[in-house]
């Protein structure tokens, strides 16, 4: 490995550590904030993503996970009467998830909380947009196999 390659590898290692630290801090703040309204991060994510009727698979994809993992979250939200399962209008094998009136209210409370207490502090809106764009580009590039 050349000196240049070693320096590039060290730079990527340090960047990875910084992104990981930001993620850890962000998750800690998020857990604290959503706990104020009686939710876990997974439940908050599901409520935030549930913008209309959708299947469990659709919701899991929006949450960035697998349907099997989302089942536990949805079961808990359903037991809290925030989400309900209804027959799918065109697919007899599927169910659609929908917010109950209480769920819609809780979602609004969540969105207000996240807006009033932003997780990324110390950055301007433009800097947050730039950071989001750069991280998204890096993630997309990492998913694309090299030619």
Q: Are 11 and 4 in contact (CB under 8 A)?
A: no
Domain ranges of the chain: 3-143
pTM summary value? 0.79
CATH fit for domain 3-143, picks 3.40.50.720, 1.25.40.10, 3.75.10.10, 1.10.10.10 = 1.10.10.10
Q: Quote the CA–CA distance of 81 and 60 in Å, as a whole number.
A: 19
CB distance 23 to 64 below 8 Å: no
pLDDT tens digits, one per residue of 50-104: 999 999 999 999 998 888 889 999 999 999 999 999 999 998 888 999 999 999 9
Q: What are 120's two structure tokens?
A: 């990324």
* Structure confidence at residue 14 (pLDDT): 92
**pLDDT confidence of residue 146:** 61
Question: What is the pLDDT at residue 37?
Answer: 94
From residue 104, give the alpha-carbon distance in Å to each of 14, 87, 126: 41, 19, 30
pLDDT beyond 70 at 117: no
What pLDDT is attached to residue 41? 94
């Amino acid at each position: 490995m050349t000196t240049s390659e070693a320096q590039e590898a060290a730079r990527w290692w340090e960047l990875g550590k910084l992104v990981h630290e930001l993620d850890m801090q962000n998750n800690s703040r998020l857990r604290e904030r959503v706990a104020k309204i009686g939710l876990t991060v997974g439940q908050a994510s599901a409520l935030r993503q549930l913008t209309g009727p959708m299947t469990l698979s659709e919701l899991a994809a929006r949450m960035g996970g697998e349907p099997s993992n989302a089942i536990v979250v949805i079961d808990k939200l359903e037991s809290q009467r925030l989400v309900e399962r209804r027959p799918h209008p065109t697919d007899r094998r599927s169910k659609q998830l929908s917010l109950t009136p209480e769920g819609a209210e809780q979602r609004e409370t969540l969105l207000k909380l996240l807006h009033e207490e932003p997780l990324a502090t110390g950055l301007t809106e433009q800097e947050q947009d730039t950071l989001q764009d750069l991280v998204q580009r890096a993630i997309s590039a990492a998913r694309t196999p090299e030619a």
